[in-house]
Amino acid sequence: MMVQIRGRQAIKLGKELRMSQSPTQPQTQEQRVQEFIAEFQQLRSEVRKVIVGHDDVVAHVLIALFAGGHALLEGVPGLGKTLLIKTLAESLDLSFSRIQFTPDLMPGDIMGTNMIVEDETGRKHFQFQRGPIFAHILLADEVNRATPKTQSALLEGMQEGAVTSSGTAHPLPQPFFVLATQNPIEMEGTYPLPEAQLDRFLFKLRVQYPALEDLTEIIDRTTQVREVNVSRVMTGPRALAFRELVREVPIASHVRDLAALIVLASHPQWERAPEQTRRFVRYGASPRGAQALVLGAKVRALSEGRYNVSVEDLRAMALPALRHRIILNFEGEAEGVDVDRLIAHIIESAENLSAAEKEVFLR
């Protein structure tokens, strides 16, 4: 016996069947971008609950996080570098670890070491005990106080996302984000970071003295009874998903070419290098500098609601991406050349190259 279903009953049944059979619709690109903007702004707002001023530094730290790199914060003591990093860690649902670098710190104190342990049967064997580097967010406080041997313990983890002990590689939790601080004025008992390790940092950020209005706000916040609660905004998988979204941001060929020209113009050996580069620079920025420039520009564009990279984004990211990758020669050191001003001159010279010249030198 056949039963015919007609009218509203048939329409209702058809809707129920489609709803039960169709999978959940994936998010559109526009929805993903809007979610990134909202959570980026919320994350910055949580940090600002504690940190007064330093808006550019806070923004650049967040850009480094979503670009998948690490950041080095340089500034004199008492400017809130460590507090900024700890506040950021509190606003993320990620594990956090802090290492206070000292001259007697050893690589095993960072990575961990193999220890003899005894199992239930009484048999002894070696077991790897993880060090504080096994965290999503690692604060390397006063990183230039440790010896080069100890500083090198961070190199593999920062570049490869893993550490090797006794021939066995141990992967680090993802996302893995290193934020290091250093003091630029105190030289006694410090070991300047080698160029190879500096190049591992996506950005080098200079933390400046606060302005008058910021200083008065700091006094009011820190000398009165006030409790600030920082909310957790983002999880690890969420941060990793946003990193993937960042890499999907398109960049026009002329903007990409400008990024390459800026990096090339920092090399004194390049035939079109500006006069100041030839005179004061010993070594220019590495290819990592170009990668940092473009990735930082992509995050900046996305955080402002633009799904394309502009020339202005490159200009904004040039200083943090390149200042630690340009090494001055003896004359540059003797003249006290400011690397930030030199980078501004390099950008100007790269932009002034004609379209025909760009085609010649980028072939």
| SS3 of the chain: helix, strand, coil, percent, to 5 | 50, 15, 35
Structural domains of the chain ordered from first start: 28-248 (3.40.50.300), 249-363 (1.10.8.80)
Using CA atoms of 322, 328, 332, 333 in order, give the dihedral in degrees to the nearest 10: 110
Give me the pLDDT at residue 186, please.
Answer: 61
Q: Characterize the bridge pairing of strands 281-283 and 327-328.
A: antiparallel
What is the DSSP code (8-state) at residue 2? -
In one-letter notation, the amino acid at residue 194 is P
Q: What is the pLDDT of residue 294?
A: 94
- Decide: helix, strand or coil at residue 193: coil
Residue matched to tokens 């550490």: 163
Element (H, E) at 274: none
CB 175 within 8 A of CB 68: yes
Supply 58's token pair: 């806070």
Q: Name the pairing type of β-strands 124-130 and 112-118.
A: antiparallel
Q: Cα–Cα distance between 334 and 332 in angstroms, integer?
A: 5
**How open is the CA angle 353-357-361, to the nearest 5 degrees?**
110
Local structure of 121: helix, strand or coil: coil
Residue 107: exposure state from Cβ atoms within 10 A (0-12, 13-18, ≥19): buried
**SS3 per-residue string spanning 214-271:** HHHHHHHHHCCCCCCCCCCCEEHHHHHHHHHHHHCCCCCHHHHHHHHHHHHCCCCCCC
List, in order, residues 6 or more apart from 137 with CB less than 8 Å away.
Answer: 85, 88, 89, 92, 94, 95, 96, 97, 177, 179
- Phi first, then psi: what are they for 227, rounded to 5°? -110, 125
Are 137 and 131 contacting, i.e. CB atoms less than 8 angstroms apart? Answer: no
pTM over 0.85: no
Reduce the DSSP state of residue 92 to 3 states and report it.
Answer: strand
Q: Mind listing the pLDDT tens digit of every residue in the chain (363 residues)? A: 333 444 444 444 344 433 333 344 457 778 888 888 888 888 888 888 887 777 888 899 999 999 988 999 988 777 778 888 888 888 888 888 888 888 888 888 888 887 777 777 778 777 778 888 888 888 988 888 888 888 888 888 888 888 877 777 888 888 888 998 888 766 666 777 878 788 889 999 988 888 888 788 778 777 776 777 778 888 888 889 899 999 989 999 889 999 999 999 999 998 888 889 999 999 989 899 999 999 999 999 999 888 889 999 999 999 999 999 999 999 988 888 899 999 999 999 888 875 656 666 666
